[in-house]
Each structure stands twice: as structure tokens, then as C-alpha cells.
Amino acid sequence: MSETSTAAGGIAACSITLQLNGEHREVEVYPWTTLLDLLREQLHLTGTKKGCDHGQCGACTVLLNGKRINSCLTLAVMHDGATLTTIEGLANGEELHPMQAAFVSHDAFQCGYCTPGQICSAVGLVG
Ligand code: FES
């Protein structure tokens, strides 16, 4: 991790690296950027949903080093060098991850908004 630029007020952004959905990524984050906001606002991986933004709903669940985590409750800068999998990274090309396929075959979507978080959480449970 290294400091690379500053925001208004002189607060430095940091450069971190992630193995994100199988790709090496280097991103700049401010110290207050949550992992959820990094994914959605900077990297445009909008499959991870912002529901409560307070750690209560699980819509933002992703897999961090293979374990489920609420991405709204953790700062991106804390995870330099981590391996991160979002809902976008579960499928193998056009082939759904078995958990995604199970959700489809069992009509488990409800309204669908938090389904990506449910699927990531389920993968973390059995993985
Ligand atoms: S958005 Fe609800 S737990 Fe993170």
C-alpha cells in the first residue's frame, strides 16, 4: 500500500492491490472508502447491493479470502493484497456457479435485490 494522491483537505489516498474476481487490480482509495463503495462506485461492480449500509441486511455480502463479509462494514484500505470475489466473479463464463444454478432451479430470488448477497453468503457457508 502506498500513498498516491490527496483529496480536498490534504488527506492522502492509498494505492492498494486486490485479486478481484480472478484479476489483479490496483486501485486508489481514500481511508474512509468502504469496500462496498469501492466495488460499486469506483469499480462499477453493481451486483453487490447497498441495502441498509449498516451491517444488518447482508445485501452487500462478498467473499474476502474465501470468507463472507459485509462489505459495507469494512474499509477497503484494510484489505491490501486480499482476494475478493463478488457475485460477478462466481460464474465461469456463461456457466453459473452451482449455487447460482440452485437459486434458479429452486426459484429462490424473492424480489432479487439482496440475492447476490444471499448467494455469496451461501457459497461462503459451504465453500
Ligand atoms: S448493506 Fe446491509 S449489511 Fe451491508
Per-residue pLDDT of the chain (127 residues; tens, 9 = 90+): 665 677 767 889 999 999 999 999 999 999 999 999 999 999 999 999 999 999 999 999 999 999 999 999 999 999 999 999 999 999 999 999 999 999 999 999 889 999 999 999 999 999 8
CA–CA separation, 113 vs 95, rounded Å?
21
CATH of 2-126, one of 3.40.50.12590, 3.10.20.30, 2.40.270.10, 3.30.420.40: 3.10.20.30
Give the long-range contacts of residues 1-4, CB within 8 A, separation 24 or more: 1/77, 1/80, 4/28
Ligand 1 centre distance from Cα of residue 72 (Å): 6
Ligand 1 centre distance from Cα of residue 54 (Å): 5
Atom of ligand 1 nearest to the CA of 50: 1
